[in-house]
Amino acid sequence: ETGVTQTPRHLVMGMTNKKSLKCEQHLGHNAMYWYKQSAKKPLELMFVYSLEERVENNSVPSRFSPECPNSSHLFLHLHTLQPEDSALYLCASSQDRGRIDTGELFFGEGSRLTVL
């Protein structure tokens, strides 16, 4: 079993749809992250949750809505997306946000999103 699991692995949606991405970590970590990875662009940090509290919202459009019900689960709710939102969405976790200086982020396999 991988440490960080993301579902679905692939998602195709229309601009008027509402869908959600799910992330679950089995590492006992208490910080979780959403990153966006587009072709030839750096990984973009979207949201950070530490102890279920959102501590970072990196100027992400409101059509992306995160939810962290507990320290093991993280969701990204999607609605009225645009074609330019098509990308790989990566979830990551770390031991605690105070350890972020070690850079030990553990990534899931990602959810490949295509918006038509």
Partner 1 sequence: QKEVEQNSGPLSVPEGAIASLNCTYSDRGSQSFFWYRQYSGKSPELIMFIYSNGDKEDGRFTAQLNKASQYVSLLIRDSQPSDSATYLCAVNGASKIIFGSGTRLSIRP
Considering only the stretches 14-22, 62-70, 75-83, 95-103, report the one whose residues sit in contact with partner 1 under the rule CB under 8 A. 95-103
Handedness of CA 103, 45, 15, 70 (dihedral sign): positive
Does residue number 41 form part of the binding site for partner 1 (CB under 8 A)?
Answer: yes
Considering only the stretches 16-24, 67-75, 76-84, 104-112, report the one whose residues sit in contact with partner 1 under the rule CB under 8 A. 104-112
Residues 43-82 that bind partner 1 (CB under 8 A): 43, 45, 48, 56
Handedness of CA 95, 101, 103, 105 (dihedral sign): positive
Hey, what amino acid is at 58? N
Taking residue 48's Cβ as centre, other Cβ atoms within 10 Å add up to 22
Among 30, 110, 113, 115, binds partner 1 (CB under 8 A): 110
| Token couple for 77 | 């709710």
Does residue number 108 form part of the binding site for partner 1 (CB under 8 A)?
Answer: yes
- On whether the CB atoms of residues 72 and 24 are closer than 8 A, the answer is yes
Residue 53 CA to residue 11 CA, distance in Å, equals 27
Q: Residue count at the site for partner 1 (CB under 8 A)?
A: 19
State the residues that interact with partner 1 by CB under 8 A: 40-43, 45, 48, 56, 90, 97, 100-105, 107-110
